[in-house]
Structure 1
Amino acid sequence: MIGQAYFLREDWHLPLLVADRLVAPAGTNIAMTDSIPLEAMFLKALHIFFPEMQQGITFFLALCWCLQPICAVFALRSMGEKHLLPAIAVSLLSACFPTFLARTSHTALCAHWILLLAIGLYFRAVQPQASYKPTWTLAALTSLTLLVHPYLMVMVGALLGAIPLSIFFREKRWKACRSSAAATLAAGASILLTGKVLGYWGGASGGGYGIYSMNLASPFWPARSSLFLQATQAQADATGGQYEGYQYLGAGLLFLLAMLFCRKKGWALFHQSMIRNIGLLLACLALTIIALSNRIYFFHTLLFRTHIMIPGAEQMRSSGRMFWPVAYVILLGAVWGVCKVWPRGAPALLSLAAILQWVDTRDLRQSDRMAEAQLLSPPLATDSHLFEIMHAFEHVEIYPRLECDATRLEEDMPLIYAAAYQNASVNTMYTARSLPEGACHLAQENPHYLDDKTLIILNGPHRLANASSWIDRTQANCGVVKTLILCAKKNLNLPSVPPSTPLPLNQTIFTSSNSPLHAELLETGWSGSEDWGTWNEGYQAFLFLPVPKNTKTATVILKLQAAPGETKKLKVSLHDQILAEWSVSPEKSEYLVTIPTLSTENIHLKLDIDHPVHLPTDPRFLGIGILSVKILTPN
């Protein structure tokens, strides 16, 4: 919604999908915000006629829910089954498919109807004497699906590639599959070119292939089932990320599979179908292997592991999703097969399966209704007050930026959402892939002087320290709303920022991740704390040292080490006055700086570091590491 709201209010310009006011001033590509660029461009063309239209995400969700059963019926008819009862059964089974119902929170990936449409086009394309139209339609669909979501494009592309393989193995001559192979190559070239022009290929993945995978037990394990309440997702999640590979087929479909394969005729039909559709079989096997990743688990038992990764694996880090088209092929094949294996009993079996699937997904549907109700509920009074304050500003800056620290994602996203709906520029955004121009640069987190149209929102554990910096170094006016601190040039008429808790004197304060006392101490310019201490990133870092009132002078002892390689020159300043200059070696050592006169109880030490470095095994720009701080005062 945020990506579309910004995109729709901008004039057409190049780069086409970049929203300039989102992650300002760099801008960001709405493909990286999963804002369904295909729909966004269509709505933008209509925006001149409907200027009040803010987004089309809710419309897209409605479209997905309506088209899901329709495209399932289309796919079943494409397989040759055109009777009414099987159509009703497959529509209910697909509309109550657990994988579909569990995906509502990720709108672009709710478009499972595209997979069903692609499966239908596949079966029409491989029919004897079929025209070229279904194949080229599927090729066009594959290219367009990139503009819905790249994961869906890979799935649809696998089904497109299955067509020439199935035709070749059936006809045993290349000439028969020449057109379908040309369509596949044309779609691939179109995707590469479109992705290049629209900026799809510049995003960097955060990794996770082998973590966000599918558990081998997932299709049959009734997690989130309303019939088997004792089964949980955690029981089939060996990595902590296999919720992305949630693939439960549902009690109704599992019932149909049991009925299909309990007869020899069912196995014979399955064998014949695989021979006729060997391309589809190979595509499903490939997608299943990608979904399982290079670490295959059955429940919590590791069955297979390799360090070999397929090309582009890290870009498909949530690989567990790749089983979706396989699941829908299983669904369609089960309905079609039961009609063939049980011609007289099919009406009763399909009816029972639809009822089972409906009952089994009751809790999932209830969860979707609750999510919808939450989205439609009016804002709380405190939220309305915050949004009224934001409405007076044209620029909103949130610190820390999500690119630097995404631990406050759920608190920050409503703020970005509010900024989007008043078209105020915002300096941060949660994206599916990080872009170089919007990457985290800790130097950008430092306070700067404000104009009348800029609002600063401080969040997270360092907000009191950051507010003190904004007040002391830029004379900003800051106040408290809920758990946030807001700062601006003008007085916001908000409750005052509470004073920071003084640090203990004459006591060593460690900066490691298991030491809670340093939460306010490391102000800006520092990376995440590790078990030994904390690295700085970039050329500057700040320390916030609140001391008790009436403290007149203090000596600060810093235990530091330079990044491996060479000695670093370090300047220590207070209010632009240089207090000390050190040569910090890679060995851990203590360095002392004396502050002769304290005019305030909030000490903001600035550390200037020369030539930070990139280490071969670390993407960060490291200067010095800090292990501990100790503040000494005269007795």
Structure 2
Amino acid sequence: MKDLVKRLPLNLLPLLIGVVAFFIVVGPRALNPQNIAWLGNGDPATHYLGWAFFRQSPWSFPVGLNPSYGLELGNGIIFSDSNPLLAFLFKPFASLLPMPFQYFGLWFLACFVLQAWFAWKLLGLVSSHVGVRAVGTALFVFAPPMIMRMPFHLSLGGHFLVLASLYLGLHPNLRRRRLAWGALLAAAALIHAYFLAMVAVIWLADLTAGYFRKKLTLQSAAIELIGLFALVSFCCWQAGYFSVGSGAVSDGFGMYAMNLLSLIDPGQWSYVLKDLPGVQGFGDGEGFVFLGLGLVTLGICAVVGLLQGKTGFRQRLGRQPLLFLALAGLTLFSLSNHVAMGSFEFTYPLPPAVISIANVFRASGRMFWPVYYAIIFTILFLVIRANTPRTAVCLMSLALLIQVLDTHAGWEGVRKQLMVAPAAKWASPMVDPFWESAAARYKNVRWIVPQNLSPHWMAVADFAGAHGLATNAVYLGRMDTVNWIKSEQETARQMASGKYDADSLYLLDERALLQAVTNVDTQSDLFTRIDGFTVLAPGWKRCSTCLQATPQVNPLELIPSLDSGQKTVFAYGSQGRAMLAWGWSDSELWGTWSEGPEAVVMFRVPAPVHSLRLEATAFLPPGHAGQSIVISINGMPALNTRLEQADGNIIDVPITHEMQQRVSSQGVLRLQFQFADAVTPKQFGIGQDARILALGLKSLTVN
């Protein structure tokens, strides 16, 4: 008991370091559980909204299912990155918690405190000197990759999990190892999949090393392997990892990799060092692992100590061959098969099956974090062992001062984002009285066409969550691809028939508007524009309790109109995209590819049209001579043509008198394409693109 009392101040020291660092970098406002102002954009918004829906949902099994946030697109709390561990802890008290309530500020505080605690424990394997451990702990806490993550990917601030795994892996006489590793693996699984992968690699290396060192028998190693694998699988199941089926596999491996110069590239996190050209390109932010000027300076001192040959470093390294191999493997994965050193890049091929597996963790640059902290630990080890404690403290203190002051260039921006003026709600464009009346009538708010990260998803999801409604207007890390396709098909059938679910309020994007507009039941359904949203409210006109002050508009008036002589382009961000009804891929900088055997463009014309001129490209990979195209106007055949050159195609479509009359009577011009020779790039060995391509539409001119 006396020893415990004596050690208490010593054990409180790293916790104090973590708390002080938290208030320096983050500030106090994030700790206010009702302050959600700093969560009102991008990734933090979906982290918070996932929790806001989860707290209102009934208990389920698995516990982590969150069906109201995403509907058919996905229903696991893990895929809104809402930190399932804390969500599970707070949900039993949801009825007692205020509205709103966020736990992410507490999470940040825990991240700093636990980062300091495990850094303290890790340094305790090298030195018992209080000053050395304290200053070294502070250097670990001011690690730029951890702090940089906090305003964007909240759960990824938990770098203490990596330090904890290194501590367990390096501890020479770890007691209750199954309990320690089991708790760490379970926590990682319930916080973020990337941390689970990192911790699991180090655990497997430690488990294998324990067997070869005769510390574990084959039987005990097998029991630990099977037992902890079962534990992790159960945690993943409960967190909702398996709720999206094949949707867990994405793409982008190689795009979000680490650059070989990332350790010394400040990425605007230094006043002294300048950014290296070519390092922080698109996707390279995932590989941000800048050491900081203080640690770079201390690294020079560490190299000097190593050259003196009195540190015992080589002997220590020789005792951890499997851990070294695990870190080497993580390094190779973080670099991906698209290796970059500054602006110099090269790619080596990998089998498609390997790429598919790697795409589960496509942001491969993150996998360097265990190596990053192993490098910091190595620097501190060499400085401590090469010098007297007093000299080591002086060198490390100077490095800490440089680290804190120079990285202020980066963490100052983090603090500004997290210290915005507090607010208990976000500004919303949905201010018309209609919305409150609609919330009382419907159970769901559906964005069509269904998609992840739909336009205005944050405002729609915030409205739905505040009124206890389910929605598919969400932003998810992964979604159920099979159910998404089924949802698209069901939505297409609804728009074609004009029959919609009576319990759902529909908000239409530009393409959905063009597909639905000619089949609206104007006798029963409200179809109008409210606060910038295109709204379809089934059964609204026959609802005696619904607000009827909202004006009905002629659905056709919402379709874009083109004047004679007007040239419309279909590039990304252009107004022409609002005319692409269906059968089109996402727009690109040059224009838009057709996707599938048919495609339709729709628009209104205030005067008779005599012809249309199209500027187009054709998808003609080697061995594919031409693209045959049949063009119709409002169902009437207009032109058969064949494109035999890839670019520079001009297509003039004549509009007969009969066509003009049909356009006039129907109130809209439908330009319909049929593609007999559409093919996929994948068929011709051009990457993995499986889209069925034929025509690339660049512009349209009305004559």
> TM-score normalized by structure 2?
0.73
Distance 1:557 1:353, change over 3 A: closer
Tell me the distance in 1 between the aligned counterparts of 2:520 and 2:135. Answer: 68
Q: Which residue of 1 aligns with 2:365?
A: 320
Q: Which residue of 2 aligns with 1:65?
A: 112
Deviation at 1:250, TM superposition (A): 1.3
SS at match of 1:90: helix
Task: Tell me the C-alpha RMSD between the 2 structures.
Answer: 4.4
SS at match of 1:296: strand
Tell me the distance in 1 between the aligned counterparts of 2:73 and 2:534. Answer: 25
Tell me if structure 1 keeps the 8 A contact 2:560–2:603: no
SS at match of 1:153: helix
Deviation at 1:431, TM superposition (A): 1.7
Q: Which residue of 2 aligns with 1:115?
A: 162
Deviation at 1:25, TM superposition (A): 4.7
Tell me if structure 2 keeps the 8 A contact 1:24–1:427: yes
Equivalent residues in 2 for 1:523-534, closer than 5 Å:
523-529=581-587, 534=593
SS at match of 1:88: helix
Deviation at 1:499, TM superposition (A): 6.6
Select 1:433's aligned residue among 473, 478, 481: 478
Q: Which residue of 1 aligns with 2:220?
A: 179
For CA contacts below 8 A with separation 6 or more, give which structure has more relative contact order.
2
Distance 1:312 1:624, change over 3 A: closer
Deviation at 1:299, TM superposition (A): 0.9
Q: Which moved more, 1:81-90 or 1:109-118?
A: 81-90
Q: Which residue of 2 aligns with 1:544?
A: 602
Tell me the distance in 1 between the aligned counterparts of 2:677 and 2:503. Answer: 35
Distance 1:37 1:327, change over 3 A: same
Q: Which residue of 1 aligns with 2:196?
A: 153
SS at match of 1:118: helix
Tell me the distance in 2 between the aligned counterparts of 1:630 and 1:223. Answer: 43
Tell me the distance in 1 between the aligned counterparts of 2:314 and 2:304. Answer: 14
Deviation at 1:324, TM superposition (A): 0.8
Tell me the distance in 2 between the aligned counterparts of 1:62 and 1:612. Answer: 59
Tell me the distance in 1 between the aligned counterparts of 2:126 and 2:652. Answer: 79
Q: How high is the sequence identity, in percent, across the aligned residues?
A: 21
Deviation at 1:217, TM superposition (A): 0.7
Select 1:188's aligned residue among 205, 229, 240: 229
Deviation at 1:428, TM superposition (A): 3.1
* Consecutive unaligned residues in structure 1, runs of 5 or more: none
Distance 1:97 1:554, change over 3 A: same
Q: Which residue of 1 aligns with 2:25?
A: none
Deviation at 1:562, TM superposition (A): 11
SS at match of 2:601: strand
**Aligned positions, number:** 609
Q: Between Structure 1 and Structure 2, which shows a larger proportion of strand residues? A: 1
Distance 1:39 1:270, change over 3 A: same
Equivalent residues in 2 for 1:386-535, closer than 5 Å:
389=435, 392-393=438-439, 394=442, 395-399=444-448, 401-403=450-452, 406=453, 411-439=456-484, 443=489, 444=491, 447=495, 448=498, 454-458=504-508, 462=510, 466=513, 470=517, 473-475=520-522, 476-479=526-529, 481=531, 484-486=533-535, 488=537, 489=540, 493=550, 502-505=561-564, 513=571, 516=574, 518-529=576-587, 534-535=593-594
Deviation at 1:182, TM superposition (A): 4.2
Tell me if structure 2 keeps the 8 A contact 1:136–1:180: no
Q: Which residue of 2 aligns with 1:76?
A: 123
Q: Which residue of 2 aligns with 1:351?
A: 397
Equivalent residues in 2 for 1:365-376, closer than 5 Å:
365-374=411-420, 376=422
Tell me the distance in 2 between the aligned counterparts of 1:431 and 1:499. Answer: 30
Tell me if structure 1 keeps the 8 A contact 2:520–2:527: no
Deviation at 1:385, TM superposition (A): 2.8
CA deviations over 1:242-289 (Å, ceiling 9, x no partner): 110000011222222221220234675321221122222112111111
CA deviations over 1:129-153 (Å, ceiling 9, x no partner): x43x134421342144122111100
Aligned residue identity for 1:431: L
Tell me the distance in 2 between the aligned counterparts of 1:625 and 1:304. Answer: 31
CA deviations over 1:37-76 (Å, ceiling 9, x no partner): 2322232233355475655334323322332212221222
Distance 1:571 1:218, change over 3 A: closer
Tell me the distance in 2 between the aligned counterparts of 1:304 and 1:27. Answer: 34
SS at match of 2:520: helix
Deviation at 1:88, TM superposition (A): 1.9
Q: Which moved more, 1:359-368 or 1:372-381?
A: 372-381
Deviation at 1:227, TM superposition (A): 2.8
Answering whether residue 143 of structure 2 is matched by residue 97 of structure 1, we say: yes
Answering whether residue 345 of structure 2 is matched by residue 302 of structure 1, we say: yes
Deviation at 1:387, TM superposition (A): 10
Distance 1:17 1:630, change over 3 A: same
Deviation at 1:625, TM superposition (A): 4.7
Deviation at 1:99, TM superposition (A): 0.4
Tell me the distance in 1 between the aligned counterparts of 2:669 and 2:261. Answer: 55
Answering whether residue 300 of structure 2 is matched by residue 258 of structure 1, we say: yes
Tell me if structure 2 keeps the 8 A contact 1:73–1:91: yes
Tell me the distance in 1 between the aligned counterparts of 2:210 and 2:479. Answer: 41
Select 1:596's aligned residue among 658, 661, 666: 661
Aligned residue identity for 2:127: E
Deviation at 1:353, TM superposition (A): 1.7
Aligned residue identity for 1:295: H
Q: Which residue of 2 aligns with 1:225?
A: 269
Q: Which moved more, 1:624-633 or 1:115-124?
A: 624-633
Answering whether residue 332 of structure 2 is matched by residue 332 of structure 1, we say: no
Aligned residue identity for 1:435: D
Distance 1:398 1:255, change over 3 A: same
Tell me the distance in 2 between the aligned counterparts of 1:457 and 1:623. Answer: 29
Tell me the distance in 1 between the aligned counterparts of 2:299 and 2:211. Answer: 29
Q: Which moved more, 1:520-529 or 1:438-447?
A: 438-447
Q: Which moved more, 1:282-291 or 1:467-476?
A: 467-476
CA deviations over 1:331-390 (Å, ceiling 9, x no partner): 233334322221230121121122111112213322222221348346676647379936
SS at match of 1:297: strand
Tell me the distance in 2 between the aligned counterparts of 1:566 and 1:29. Answer: 46
* Consecutive unaligned residues in structure 2, runs of 5 or more: 1-47, 541-546, 646-650
Distance 1:229 1:389, change over 3 A: farther
SS at match of 1:302: strand
Distance 1:310 1:389, change over 3 A: closer
Aligned residue identity for 1:282: L
Tell me if structure 2 keeps the 8 A contact 1:400–1:458: yes
Q: Which residue of 1 aligns with 2:57?
A: 10
Tell me the distance in 1 between the aligned counterparts of 2:197 and 2:185. Answer: 8
Tell me if structure 2 keeps the 8 A contact 1:92–1:354: yes
Aligned residue identity for 1:596: Q
> TM-score normalized by structure 1?
0.80
Tell me if structure 2 keeps the 8 A contact 1:522–1:542: yes
Q: Which residue of 2 aligns with 1:244?
A: 286
Tell me the distance in 1 between the aligned counterparts of 2:226 and 2:340. Answer: 35
Deviation at 1:552, TM superposition (A): 5.8
Q: Between Structure 1 and Structure 2, which shows a larger proportion of helix residues? A: 2
Q: Which residue of 1 aligns with 2:37?
A: none
